[in-house]
Structure 1
Amino acid sequence: MLELLPMVFAAPGEAVTRARGLLEAGAPPLHASVAHQVIGIWQRDFGDLRLALRHLRRARDLAARADSAEREADVLATLGVALVHAGRTRQGLVAFERGVARGSGHTRARVLYRRAYVWWVLGRHREALEDVRRAIPVLRQAEDVIWTARALTLRATVHLALGAVERADADFTAAEALWDTTGQEHDKADAVESRGLAAFRRGDIPAALRLLAEAEERYAKLDTPTFMLNIRRCEVLMAAGLAPEALAEADAAIAELDGLGGQSTRKAELLLVAARAARLAGEAHTAIARADVAVRLFAGQRRTWWETHARLVLIEARVAAGRRSGRLVADAAAVAGRLAAFGSPAAPEASLLAGRIALALGWTADAERHLAVAARSRHSGPPLARMTGWAAQALRSRAAGSGRGVLEACRRGLDVLDDHRTTLGASELRARATAQGAELAALAQEAGLASGEPRRLLVWSERWRATVLSAPPTKPPADPALLSGLTAFREIAARAEEARQEGHPVPALEREQRRLEREIRARTLRLRGRSPGGGDRFEPGRLLARLGEARLVELAVLDGRVHVLLCGQGRVRRFEAGRLADAVAEAEHVQAGLRRLAHPGAAARLPLVEAAGRRLEELLLGPAARHLGSGPVVVVPPGSLHQVPWALLPSLRERVLSVSPSAGSWLRARETEPPPGGRQVLVRGPGLATGGAEVPQLADRYEAPTVLEGPDAHVSRVLRELDGAALAHIAAHGAFRADSPLFSSLTMADGPIVVHDFERLDRSPYRIILSCCETARFASVGADELLGLVTALLPLGTAGVVACSAPVNDEAVVPLMLALHKGLGAGLSLAEALRDARAALPGDATHQATGWAFSAFGAA
């Protein structure tokens, strides 16, 4: 009969079915006690907590009627856990006291293990370690493999909460070896989940995502809810810069838990996670609401450790909402003291918060005291903890008026984050991780500006700009599941597009497409990066030597204002221009104007667009526009200005002009050697208004180009031919996905080719021309990173790209492309050929707007 109890975590459904069968058959009290306990455990962990308490109380009463002290002790422990999860902490602890008193030997050890678990739930980690320390030797002596493995897993989890990652790893390893000898499938899934948590605490986000995904698959086979997994995955998503996704998952889990009538303790933890995610996602008022409820729930559950962490998030959210007061300083300091007493790794974060608020109020002595405490974490612990310490040290130095100290702290902190980012293989994660260094980068730029040395400001502007482009992303392995997922995604997307064109609704196909996108993205996010170290440090002297007669204009934004760093003639000069917000708004007006000019009959809008171009020049270049010289110009804008059509600005309109995400990216492109062989690849996708009319004419201009059109222009063939080509021209429908930029696509014969496909190339084409709409649109993420088609190509060996930032008139594109290739045939660079091609276009509004919409990126 007792074999039903371990079955709850091996085959939960079968265990409950057999338990109900026993009760229906009128089992005697001892056996009925076990049956009710089994159903109670299932309801406690996977269902309605109210039903769980009803069954467990019945199990307790039946055990007492059977006069079995050991049976009663075991049920009391199970009931104690359920009461604590229901928020009835005092009653739960009383049940444990009775259970410890009633049980003996092996049974008492199991009771102690479960009380240790409850101490962990309550955040009382020292008591948890003491009880599990007493339980493990007895369980081992009894050769109780299952409960010994559970106790080791619990001890490891407590060690993680206290920041002792190495001790946790040792216990997880020992527990895993024991689980391998059992059939406890739910416990095994929990062990994999716990290893994912350990990987996260070490700072290994790809491994954490992979292990949590494996745990989720195991739970799905058992058809059991996964609320603890939701909490842990949300923590990993937040650390990966995916706070909006973490908030959505936490809120969905809360709704599901409420629907089940599940554990009050889990709801409080989910609310805490949701509050943190909302704060990181910039939704301060949502964070305040979630954190306030979490604080009240934790307080009612007598979970002081958790309540203190929730109070930290509540204070952070209030500060994010613009509140500053002496009361908040005191509250943050009190929270920091309590967290330090608990041994929580979050204590430095609270001290940093108290210091920040004090600085904002001008309380320098108080700020120094709190920041000094936070700064102690800069030399040890996981990457983000050290980042907290270096941020505190930088703020201390700024308050002390030490610009050198600020720069040193920022350098050390960003080096930590650099090493962390290199462990991430996915370009999306590397881009989003830069947000964690935004404060340090801003402090360093502020110190660079205060120094009065434009070169120093340039170095720090480059230090955290477009860092994803500094190295190729990790090439996905030959993963059959990933490859089949991409193929299935392509087929579904093609079927959906065909159905739309025929006027049919496609909700089922769209749902399947979104599912496949999630699966593909999840697999790519788990890729590990290269080892830390190395990296190409930016040197202004190298840039100035390479520029020659050209000028490089890097736009840095400090306190919302654009600062122009004009590089050339052996020096760097700084000019102050307009406000960034005004420039972004003007750029949006220009984009709207270009969209209208793509349609014949909108010529009356041309003067308005040209006037907006003049206003943009004043906002973005200011007095620097008069010092550009007569040579080529390279513009390096921040991510928020990626949609500016730079050729529209009067001082740039007739120039050889290229755009680069960073000065370092331009240097790498300039030094990229073309591949041997000089292959040209011309691709024509389906459904173009002009039929890709330029492609046949271009085919006649080159000696032996590879031309892919019709059924030959399928994704696998196109990728194969693009790999290592000297020049590629792709005429195909382009689609930008702001919601998921790595699924931005070009339409081929068998469906879309997406950024994830391009990242599989060994080397992308040396030069690539994308003659379709919106291929130069990007999503701005992280500190100052861009994700999109162009930025996927630049780290993979492409030295130059011509692409379009707005919808354009298809017919007007054809003469522009023909003129562009004529210039390339004459030996011009992409930027030179594009300038001449614009000049060769007819003078009507539609053709002019088409020329302005295209930009040359890179340096080829």
Structure 2
Amino acid sequence: MVFAAPGEALARAERVLRSDPSPLEASVAHQVIGIWQRDFGDLGVALDHLRQARDRAARADSAEREADVLGTLGVALVHAGRTRQGLAAFERGVARGNGHTRARVLYRRAYVWWVLGRHKEALEDLRRAIPVLRQAGDVIWTARALSVRATVHLAMGAVDRADADFTAAELLWETTGQEHDKAVAVENRGLAAYRSGDIPAALRLLAAAKERYDELGTPPFMLYIARCDVLMAAGLAPEALAEADTAIATLDRIGGQSTRKAELLLTAARCALSTGDAQTAVARAAVAVRLFSGQRRSWWETHARLVLIEARVAGGAASGRLVQDAAAVADQLASFGAPAASEASLLAGRIALALGWTADAERHLGVAARGRHVGPPLARMTGWAAQALRARAAGSGRGVLEACRRGLDVLDDHRMTLGASELRARATAQGAELAALAQQASLAHGGPRRLLEWSERLRATVLAAPPTRPPADPALLASLTAFREIASRAEEARREGRPVPALEREQRRLEREIRARTHHTRGAAPGGGDRFDPARLLDRLGDARLVELTVLDGRVHILLCGQGRVRRFAGGALAEAVAEAEHVQAGLRRLAHPGAEARLPVVEAAGKRLEELLLGAAASRLGSGPVVIVPPGTLHRVPWALLPSLRERVLSVSPSAGSWLRARETEPPPGGRHVLVRGPGLATGGAEVPEVAGQYATARILEHEGAQVPRVLEELDGSALAHIAAHGTFRADSPLFSSLRMTDGPLIVHDFERLARSPYRIILSSCDTARLASVGADELLGLVTALLPLGTAGVVASSAPVNDAAVVPLMLALHKGLGAGLSLAESLRDARAALPGDALHQATGWAFAAFGAA
């Protein structure tokens, strides 16, 4: 019962002990309390009860009872870090028990062998135990044994064998009432899905297991470890680190298992390393190494040493000693049959290359490269990274490009199994090194056109296909509706000066729920979509010029595309450009308020410096036609119209050349419906909307109660032109919750992603609507990038705060140009020129940009 109904089992056992039980009965009761405390509570208390259970069994003169308790005690001792005592308890238990009881003790020892990383011993004990348990008709213990065997297979990289055992165990669990074990079975399937590369299924199954554990009131520390691993694989390392640290704190608070703490520390070290926090990773990994060593867990200790070396290298260390240490770890992991052996060989090769030890590097990288054809996607990418580094060390540019292409093909297939745009974007970080290696090889051995191809290879890939949505997800819709209501109530409470902590807590809970449900969605099919073709781009440009900025080793390289060719120019340092862009943003914020006219020359001077850093000599070779700017994610906030050579031009911005091409070739929807939306709380009340409506005879105006999210989405879907005057809020911490304020609450990016087709053209006339979060290798998440893959060919939005009153004449002039048949970029150029010449209106014009190609 302790795993079927833990709370009830604990209460019954305590009642037995209060009823003057016999030694045999007392032994059972103490064992139940010991199991509960061992797995869900204080390990010190567990050991006290299990020793009493052992003593009562001896007093009852029951060898079978004593053997059974010794098996439970052995597990607890090992979890407490007393490995030698735990194994001794198992020896006595195996000797005291017979038949069925001995098989149960052997199963428990197999579990402990797995905890210790001694997989061969675990499989041997399970080989002896499972037939006896089956013959005895012991469904529960047979299922447990199959689950442990599957877990051992996973640790050894045998995913298919693990999946077969997990499936067999789950079929057995369905015939029992063991609710905790059923939750473990769901968790195990999630772990198997993760190891096979199915991240959405893993997240969904682990969430389902968490719900079951919560219902039982049992803390699932193994689940936390599994979730952290999956979150890291999904590119959500900060969330994984927070979860690991929370689990460690919980474990410390209840006095839980020392073995689990060591595993959680190792997990936290991996998470910190993934976030780029080498110092935290070193600290966590060093403690994990000490704990594993004291627990005599060589398999785990070796994995922790690998992470410790990786963290030290990430912190800037490189020495011959580290090469030797990484090579020794690789050899030891290989002797364990651990899949991480190739990762250690790659690390040894990297350090050797940094030291110029080419022969050693070739040896280690050659070993790591063997894994490029087998295993889950991320393991194969490790192999291709090793192969690319080998080729670079050998001076083979062709070899580097081929290895990078093959590795990124693996990433493309993996990325498209992810249905959520956020996960697709973040997954590209795993290919950043391969893309950089290919760019460097292109620069050294190819020409500007090849560099353009590789700059596009991992840029804005999330825009290549719309996110995958479940056919109908009532739970997601309900969460979105509840989120909107809570967010609206919180906003109203803030305006009235009422406390909002409870509302904010509920809002954060709903945000987590919405994110989780979108993350569980699997992509429709593998494959990376259309490959970028420079010839197609050059053909479609006509008299326009496309300027793609790419960054290599901290320097900006300018690729000028047009007139049938691609030319490369040198730019400045990226860090300088980013700093200058931040100064400009600060200046525009000041200029959005009257009385800041003195800042105008400062902002204009900064624009000139930005041009020198970002366009260089290409500024004088832009021709007379339209210009398309394709910046890297780190430069997405540059107000490009401020740059002197771009101020009078037809100018548009695109996250990638490929996305510009797709926007250029997007056909407008039939019908030509126009939708104008006015949200609440604007200083001017969205004054441009009634006047703009006069330019479109059949425009649908949504305002007041008509401007509620469901109605707005219904009208936006498939429209030709949408103009939304509503307060915009950018969420840097969670960009897909960036929003536009409607009457009934925020219209968020997740809402836009539910559209069958977003408006062909959309104008967002309020502050910060073009702000985006840079994630992954070179991806951007926010309102604008949510619209482009859903059928929007062009967007006008602002990347800075703007003055509501100054926006009105800009918008009226913009729509006048659209009514005359001009594109968004042409209309915006003319609208800027039509504004008054004061600082307030000039800054407003610079803050807006046209995105896409409509």
What TM-score range do you get, normalising by the shorter chain?
Answer: over 0.9
Q: Distance in 2 between matches of 1:163 and 1:221?
A: 32
Task: Confirm or deny: 8 A CA contact 2:673 2:721 kept in the other structure.
Answer: yes
Alignment of 1:619-698 (within 5 A): 619-698=613-692
**Partner letter of residue 121 of structure 1?**
V
Which among 764, 768, 773 is matched to residue 779 of structure 1?
773
**1:476–1:760 Cα contact (<8 Å) kept:** no
TM-fit CA distance, 1:465? 0.4
Instruction: Kindly provide the amino acid, as one letter, of the partner of residue 412 in structure 2.
Output: D
| Aligned-partner Cα distance in 1 for 2:672–2:603 | 40
Which of the residues 329, 347, 371 maps onto 2:341?
347
CA deviation vs aligned residue, 1:317-372 (integer Å, no higher than 9, x gap): 00000000000000000000000000001000000000000000000000000000
* Structure 2 counterpart of 1:218, one-letter code: R
**What is the alpha-carbon distance in structure 2 between the residues aligned to residue 520 and residue 545 of structure 1?**
42
Match of 2:113 in 1: 119
Mapped contact 2:412–2:528 kept (Cα < 8 A): no
1:184-333 pair list within 5 angstroms = 184-333=178-327
Which residue number corresponds to residue 4 of structure 1?
none
Are residues 1:459 and 2:453 paired?
Answer: yes
Q: State the shift of 1:451 in Å.
A: 1.8
SS of structure 1 residue aligned to 2:666: coil
SS at match of 2:797: strand
Secondary structure of 1:701 counterpart:
coil
SS state of the match for residue 44, structure 2? helix
CA contact (8 A) 2:416 2:528 kept: no
Residue in structure 2 matched with residue 11 of structure 1 by the alignment: 5
CA-to-partner distance for each residue in 1:644-666, whole Å, 9 max, x for gaps? 00000000000000000000000
1:600 and 2:594 matched:
yes
SS of residue in 1 equivalent to 2:751: helix
Shift of 1:701: 1.0
Alignment-derived partner of residue 385 in structure 1: 379
Counterpart for residue 101 of structure 1: 95
The answer for the alignment partner of 1:3 in structure 2 is: none
Q: Aligned AA for 1:828?
A: L
C-alpha displacement at 1:531, in angstroms? 1.3
Structure 1 outlier segments of 4+, above 3 Å: none
Match of 1:55 in 2: 49
Decide whether the 8 Å contact of 1:637 with 1:661 is kept in 2.
yes
Instruction: Report the TM-score, using the length of structure 1 for normalisation.
Output: 0.99
Determine whether 1:821 maps to 2:815: yes
Partners of 2:146 and 2:112 lie apart in 1 by 15
Query: For 1:579 and 1:844, how far apart are their aligned partners in 2?
Result: 33
Give 1:503 shift. 1.6
Match of 1:722 in 2: 716
Summarize deviations over 1:474-526 as a string: whole Å, max 9, x none. 12442111111111100011111111111222111111111110111111111
- Quote the Cα distance in structure 2 between the aligned partners of 1:616 and 1:833: 25
- Tell me the amino acid that sits aligned with residue 848 of structure 1: Q
Please give the alpha-carbon distance, in whole angstroms, between the structure 2 residues aligned to 1:90 and 1:236. 33
8 Å Cα contact 1:492/1:512 also seen in 2: yes
Give the whole-Å Cα distance in 2 for the aligned partners of 1:72 and 1:721.
Answer: 73
Aligned partner of 1:473 in structure 2 is 467
TM-fit CA distance, 1:530: 1.6
Structure 2 counterpart SS, 1:599 = coil
Are residues 1:153 and 2:147 paired? yes
Amino acid at match of 1:120: W
SS at match of 2:612: helix
For 2:246 and 2:658, how far apart are their aligned partners in 1? Answer: 42
Residue number in structure 1 paired with 2:126: 132
Task: Give the secondary-structure state (helix, strand or coil) at the position aligned to 1:752.
Answer: strand
Deviations 1:440-472 (A, max 9, x none): 000000001012410000000000100000011
- Counterpart Cα distance in 2 of 1:531 and 1:700: 46
Unmatched 5+ stretches in structure 1: 1-6
1:770 equivalent among 759, 764, 768: 764
Q: Distance in 2 between matches of 1:489 and 1:13?
A: 34
Alignment correspondent of 2:734: 740
Residue-pair matches, total = 854
Q: Which runs of 5+ in 2 are unaligned?
A: none
Q: Secondary structure at the match of 1:515?
A: helix
- What secondary structure sits across from 1:169 in the alignment? helix
Instruction: Tell me the SS of whatever aligns to 1:614.
Output: helix
Q: Distance in 1 between matches of 2:374 and 2:539?
A: 40
> What is the CA distance between 1:534 and its match in structure 2?
5.9
After TM superposition, the structure 1 = structure 2 runs for residues 389-404 of structure 1, keeping only pairs within 5 Å, are 389-404=383-398
In 2: Cα distance, 1:422 partner to 1:241 partner: 14
Amino acid at match of 2:494: R
Letter in 2 for 1:260: I
- In 1, distance between residues paired with 2:445 and 2:799? 37
Partner of 1:412: 406
- Quote the Cα distance in structure 1 between the aligned partners of 2:477 and 2:761: 27
Q: How many Å separate the matches in 2 of 1:476 and 1:723?
A: 18
1:496 alignment counterpart: 490
- Partners of 1:417 and 1:479 in 2: how far apart? 28
Distance in 1 between the 2:470 and 2:72 partners?
A: 46
Q: Aligned letter for 2:756?
A: D
Give 1:164 deviation, angstroms: 0.3
Aligned equivalents of 2:762 and 2:16: distance in 1?
A: 72
Distance in 2 between the 1:42 and 1:507 partners? 35
Given that 2:556 and 2:574 are in contact with CA atoms closer than 8 Å, whether structure 1 keeps it comes out as yes
- The residue type paired with residue 219 of structure 1 is Y
Task: Name the aligned partner's letter for residue 261 of structure 1.
Answer: G
Matched, 1:174 2:168: yes
Aligned residue number for residue 850 of structure 2: 856
CA shift at 1:535, angstroms? Answer: 1.3
Contact 1:206-1:424 at 8 Å conserved across structures:
yes
- 2:575 corresponds to: 581
Match for 1:749 among 743, 764, 767? 743
**Identity rate, percent:** 84
Give a deviation string over 1:621-668, Cα, whole Å, max 9, x none: 111101101100000000000000000000000000000000000000
Equivalent of 2:361, from 347, 363, 367? 367
Between the aligned partners of 1:696 and 1:410, the Cα distance in structure 2 is 54
Distance in 1 (alpha carbons) for counterparts of 2:115 and 2:469: 41
Report the secondary structure of 1:554's partner residue.
Answer: strand
Q: Match of 2:771, SS?
A: coil
Distance in 2 between the 1:21 and 1:351 partners? 57
The residue number in structure 2 matching 1:788 is 782
**Contact 2:413–2:528 (CA under 8 A) maintained in structure 1:** no
SS in 1 for 2:796: strand
Residue-by-residue CA offset, 1:575-616 (whole Å, 9 max, x unaligned): 001000000000000000000000011001000000000000
2:756 & 2:509 partners in 1: Cα distance? 28
Distance in 2, Cα, partners of 1:747 & 1:467:
29
Does 2:1 match 1:39? Answer: no
1:768 CA drift (Å): 0.2
Q: Which residue of 2 aligns with 1:356?
A: 350
1:700 is displaced (CA, Å) by 1.1
1:244, 1:688 → 2: CA distance?
Answer: 35
Q: Distance in 2 between the 1:345 and 1:523 partners?
A: 31
Shift of residue 279 of structure 1? Answer: 0.6
